[in-house]
């Protein structure tokens, strides 16, 4: 099925994934260096002046579970492998739960092809997709352990958790574990009732041991991410007030500001789109459909190739979207049945967990609840985009739906199912019918951003009517599927069809329901020939012009785009801007006040040698900045300030060529230093994480380096003639170093302890899981061999 869906990939074509393109651009320096030298640097200067590369494209992390990951993904990062890994994990989970094999096959397919997963892949959110794909395997280990299959449970949970953590999307990990207390508490209550508390505590202890090994196997990622996060916009504030981000009723000293974190909050109409895919319209930039009013109007106005144009068909509460996180009305129907007929802890976990995720996804649109969570739940305010929590719901909903269908064909009597169908009809099917009929007259179908499109000459009446049509058609589409599955279940309980026919029919219909919606947002037309795909990475004339400069290290900024939300320039140059969800806090502060205003002094101290500007004819041109201060320079004046706020504010109007701002926390470092001296400093060897300079001066100097401060104890070590020396922060963002008179060799080397020690621990922990599992399989194989031989 994955080969069929992604057939163009087998033909050598590529999908243009926006986030993946950004990733390829931001990692180009790392990959080029690796290709030439055989190793990856731990720092890259390709984005935001410089940042740890292990937050973008990490070197070998020492996690041997990547061998299992490689195997489950069929040997690579192809879409076929990615989706197969999710399918296999879900199938294993359903087998662990004792589900009928045919239901398990369809369940695995439906989970993998959930519209949310397709949207994630289409946008290039691969780490998030893989984190979701490994949730079933993690859950299978959890269930095995709680069901007293301790050894199998230990290894499956350790491997599943390890693979999930290796995907390195801690937001999904955090959200998933938010719901687990429902399962653990329900299992605890069950153990009390069944007087099996000892077994329960034993299972919890085994799960904890397995999870410690899983954490250890990904310690390289986790430790470096934790260390880095404290210095980013998701960590502590540095200034007394937020720079230019937003004002908010919910402001804490740690984490993101409320308004920024809650920008991507679902509205109730977005939740309705989980079962009526067109309820909130379509994508924010949707291809025109032949026959639509907008299409006919543009065709009438003489527009060429209207199908290649994109219009804002989405009108929900999100700033923008690639499409709805459609759960499937068939799957949701069986999920609802499961809430009635499934007994035990799993029902409470999947029911209450899904409800929690729905409420959290509303973000600012359910403010009283989410404001409390945001300000009181540890680490919750480190994450943005609450709508992304819905990413986990297809797993939860499909799992309970599979259990539900399995229960119907195996145990539940017809009268019981008939009574449940009546309840669901009253509380779900009839309201859905009302919404489908009345919805087009209940809503205005107007988006908050529609005004800008009206200014561009788009006929808003036609656009709104097209949105209304989508709602109407998809409302009746959901009703149609609902009536079919109602009829099938009724035919089964009245013994007109057998259970195999029911399962096959429901499986095909449920998969078709989701598949058809998936194809709206990712189909063969989204694939490009390899040559066309690679043209994305062809340098423009301005890029080629800048590349003729053979200097070792300088920076470029591109004002033809939003430079702080685009990494495209990083493919060719060392970028003042970039694209990353967790910028360094200090750099974000500088962006918000100085760089966004194109402050020339700040650009100069960042060694911005070239500025790309939009030309009058649409062709960009290069402006050389002759005032860029270079890689390092000596200053003759020092200003000591008493706080980070003063350090930041003093940059306004500062002449960084002559004067440096130093925080008083480094005053002792300057003891005995006499300012006023100058000297020569030259960068003679450039490796992204190892910079080498030569200096010459008649007196001791204080040198300022146009390199980003990341410290004081995060890995950057200065060396003077091979001996380690201390350096300090300068101008809020940069580095400064005292250099004695005479000729000297200065080096900055990035040697983060968190990475090197973390990698050693990761090797040990992942080896214990991998080789322990191989040993266990060997013992099981030998026992099976001798048992059958006897």
Q: How many Cβ atoms from other residues are within 10 Å of residue 212's Cβ?
A: 13
Q: Does residue 88 lie within any of the structural domains?
A: no
Kindly list the distances between the CA atom of residue 268 and the CA atoms of 275, 279, 365, 366, 432, in Å, as whole numbers in the listed order: 12, 10, 8, 10, 14
Q: Does residue 194 lie within any of the structural domains?
A: no
Q: Give me the numbers of helices (H) and strands (E) for the chain, helices first please.
A: 32, 20
Instruction: Evaluate the CA torsion angle 108, 113, 119, 121 in order and state its sign.
Output: positive
Token output for 729: 């922060």
For residue 254, list its beta bridge partners: 236
pTM, rounded to two decimals: 0.90
Do both 610 and 656 map to the same domain? no
Do 513 and 328 touch, CB atoms closer than 8 A? Answer: yes
Do 432 and 463 touch, CB atoms closer than 8 A? Answer: no
- pLDDT on residue 790: 58
Closest CA to 129 of 92, 84, 99, 159: 84
Tracing tokens 């068939």 back to the chain, one arrives at 330
Q: Does residue 730 lie within any of the structural domains?
A: yes
- pLDDT on residue 598: 94
Q: Does residue 47 lie within any of the structural domains?
A: yes
Q: How many Cβ atoms from other residues are within 10 Å of residue 599's Cβ?
A: 17
564 SS3 class:
helix
Distance CA 481, CA 691 (A): 63
Distance CA 497, CA 494 (A): 8
Do both 607 and 649 map to the same domain? no
Distance CA 211, CA 225 (A): 18
Q: Does residue 48 lie within any of the structural domains?
A: yes
Distance CA 2, CA 121 (A): 13
Do 639 and 645 touch, CB atoms closer than 8 A? Answer: no
Do both 646 and 662 map to the same domain? yes
Do both 682 and 573 map to the same domain? no
712 cis-preceded (ω within 30 degrees of 0): yes
Token output for 249: 């009723």
Closest CA to 578 of 44, 39, 170, 14: 44
Do both 638 and 746 map to the same domain? yes
Do 705 and 630 touch, CB atoms closer than 8 A? Answer: no
Instruction: Evaluate the CA torsion angle 39, 41, 45, 46 in order and state its sign.
Output: positive
- pLDDT on residue 308: 66
Do 87 and 109 touch, CB atoms closer than 8 A? Answer: yes
| Residue 691 C-alpha from the chain's centroid | 31
Helices (H), 456-611: 460-493, 499-521, 530-534, 541-547, 585-593, 600-605
149 SS3 class:
coil
| DSSP string across 612-651 | EE--TTS--EEEE-TT---SEEEESEEEEESSHHHHHHTT
Among 582, 598, 628, the domain-final residue is 628
Closest CA to 613 of 556, 567, 653, 572: 556
| Residue 650 C-alpha from the chain's centroid | 36
Kindly list the distances between the CA atom of residue 70 and the CA atoms of 9, 27, 66, 75, 163, in Å, as whole numbers in the listed order: 19, 21, 6, 5, 10
3-state helix/strand/coil string of 43-73 = EECCCCCCEEHHHCCCCCCCCCCHHHHHHHC
Among 628, 653, 680, the domain-final residue is 628
Q: Which residues contact 382 (CB under 8 A, 6 or more apart)?
A: 229, 234, 235, 254, 255, 256
Do 585 and 238 touch, CB atoms closer than 8 A? Answer: yes
Do both 618 and 653 map to the same domain? no
Q: Residues in the chain with pLDDT < 50?
A: 242-251
Distance CA 681, CA 462 (A): 64
Q: Does residue 410 lie within any of the structural domains?
A: no
Do both 637 and 740 map to the same domain? yes
Closest CA to 503 of 485, 517, 518: 485
Token output for 309: 């144009």
Do both 589 and 642 map to the same domain? no
Do both 651 and 744 map to the same domain? yes
Distance CA 445, CA 442 (A): 9
Number of independent structural domains in the chain = 2
Tracing tokens 């989701």 back to the chain, one arrives at 514
Q: Which residues contact 7 (CB under 8 A, 6 or more apart)?
A: 524
Do both 642 and 724 map to the same domain? yes
Q: Which residues contact 416 (CB under 8 A, 6 or more apart)?
A: 341
Do both 571 and 555 map to the same domain? yes
CB half-sphere exposure, 67, CA atoms < 13 A:
12
Do both 659 and 641 map to the same domain? yes
Give the DSSP letter of residue 236: B
- pLDDT on residue 245: 42
- pLDDT on residue 306: 61
Q: Does residue 250 lie within any of the structural domains?
A: no
Q: Does residue 267 lie within any of the structural domains?
A: no
Distance CA 380, CA 439 (A): 35
| Residue 81 C-alpha from the chain's centroid | 19
Distance CA 680, CA 699 (A): 11
Among 628, 645, 660, the domain-final residue is 628
- φ and ψ at residue 627, rounded to 5 degrees: -95, 0
Q: Domain range for residue 645?
A: 632-751
- pLDDT on residue 307: 62
Closest CA to 594 of 652, 647, 659, 657: 652
For residue 616, list its beta bridge partners: none
Distance CA 249, CA 146 (A): 43
Do 465 and 293 touch, CB atoms closer than 8 A? Answer: yes
Token output for 233: 């916009």
């Amino acid at each position: 099925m994955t080969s069929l869906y992604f057939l163009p990939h087998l033909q050598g074509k590529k999908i243009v994934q926006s986030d993946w393109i950004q990733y390829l651009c931001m990692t180009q320096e790392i990959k080029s260096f690796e290709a030439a030298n055989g190793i990856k640097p731990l720092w890259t200067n390709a984005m935001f002046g410089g940042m740890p590369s292990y937050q973008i494209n990490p070197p070998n992390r020492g996690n041997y579970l990547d061998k299992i990951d490689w195997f489950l993904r069929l040997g690579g990062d192809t879409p076929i492998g990615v989706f197969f890994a999710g399918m296999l994990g879900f199938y294993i989970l359903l087998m662990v739960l004792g589900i009928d094999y045919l239901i398990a096959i369809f369940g695995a397919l439906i989970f993998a092809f959930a519209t949310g997963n397709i949207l994630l892949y289409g946008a290039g959110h691969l780490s998030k997709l893989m984190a979701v794909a490994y949730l079933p395997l993690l859950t299978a280990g959890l269930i095995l352990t709680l069901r007293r299959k301790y050894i199998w449970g230990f290894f499956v949970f350790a491997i599943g958790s390890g693979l999930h953590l290796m995907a390195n999307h801690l937001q999904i990990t955090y959200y998933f574990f938010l719901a687990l207390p429902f399962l653990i508490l329900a299992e605890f209550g069950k153990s009390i009732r069944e007087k099996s508390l000892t077994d329960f505590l034993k299972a919890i202890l085994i799960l904890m041991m397995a999870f410690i090994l899983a954490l250890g196997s990904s310690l390289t990622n986790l430790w470096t991410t934790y260390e880095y996060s404290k210095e980013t916009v998701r960590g502590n504030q540095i200034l007394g007030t937020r720079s230019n981000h937003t004002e908010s009723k919910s402001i804490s000293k740690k984490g993101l500001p409320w308004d920024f974190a809650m920008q991507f909050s679902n509205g109730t109409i977005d939740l309705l789109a989980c079962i009526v895919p067109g309820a909130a319209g379509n994508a924010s930039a949707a291809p025109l459909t032949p026959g639509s009013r907008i299409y006919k109007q543009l065709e009438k106005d003489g527009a060429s190739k209207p199908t290649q144009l994109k219009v804002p068909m989405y009108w929900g509460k999100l700033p923008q979207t690639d499409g709805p996180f459609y759960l499937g009305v068939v799957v949701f129907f069986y999920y609802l049945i499961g809430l009635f007929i499934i007994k035990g802890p799993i029902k409470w976990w999947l029911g209450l967990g899904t409800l929690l995720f729905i409420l959290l996804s509303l973000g600012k649109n359910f403010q009283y609840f989410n404001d409390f969570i945001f300000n009181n739940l540890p680490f919750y305010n480190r994450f943005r985009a609450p709508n992304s929590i819905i990413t986990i719901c297809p797993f939860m909903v499909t799992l309970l739906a599979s259990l539900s269908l399995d229960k119907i064909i195996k145990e539940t009597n017809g009268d019981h199912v008939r009574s449940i169908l009546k309840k669901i009809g009253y509380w779900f099917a009839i309201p859905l019918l009302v919404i489908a009929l009345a919805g087009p007259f209940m809503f205005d179908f107007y988006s908050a951003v529609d005004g800008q499109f009206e200014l561009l000459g788009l006929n808003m009446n036609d656009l709104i009517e097209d949105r209304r049509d989508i709602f109407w058609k998809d409302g009746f589409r959901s009703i149609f599927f609902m009536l079919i599955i109602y009829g099938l279940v009724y035919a089964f309980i009245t013994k007109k069809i057998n259970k195999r026919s029911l399962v096959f029919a429901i499986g095909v219909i449920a998969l078709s329901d989701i598949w058809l919606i998936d194809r709206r947002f990712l189909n063969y037309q989204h694939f490009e020939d390899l040559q066309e795909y690679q043209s994305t990475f062809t340098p423009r004339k301005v890029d080629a012009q800048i590349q003729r400069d053979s200097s070792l290290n300088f920076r470029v900024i591109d004002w033809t785009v939003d430079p702080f939300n685009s990494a495209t320039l990083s493919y060719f140059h060392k970028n003042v801007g970039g694209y990353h969800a967790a910028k360094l806090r200090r750099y974000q502060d500088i962006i918000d006040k100085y760089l966004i205003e194109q402050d020339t002094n700040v650009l100069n101290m960042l060694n911005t040698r070239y500025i790309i500007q939009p030309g009058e004819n649409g062709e960009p041109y290069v402006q050389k900045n002759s005032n860029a201060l270079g890689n390092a320079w000596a200053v003759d004046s020092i200003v000591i300030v008493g706080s980070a706020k003063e350090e930041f504010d003093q940059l306004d109007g500062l002449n960084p060529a002559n004067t440096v701002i130093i925080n008083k926390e480094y005053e002792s470092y300057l003891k005995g230093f006499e300012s006023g001296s100058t000297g020569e400093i030259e960068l003679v060897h450039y490796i992204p994480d190892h910079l080498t300079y030569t200096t010459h001066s008649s007196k001791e100097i204080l040198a300022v380096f146009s390199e980003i401060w990341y410290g004081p104890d995060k890995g950057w070590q200065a060396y003077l003639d091979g001996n380690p020396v201390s350096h300090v922060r300068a101008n809020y963002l940069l580095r400064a170093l005292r250099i004695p008179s005479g000729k000297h060799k200065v080096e900055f080397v990035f040697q983060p302890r968190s990475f090197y020690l973390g990698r050693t621990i990761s090797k040990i922990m992942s080896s214990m899981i991998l080789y322990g599992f191989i040993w266990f399989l060997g013992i099981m194989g030998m026992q099976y061999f001798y048992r059958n031989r006897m």
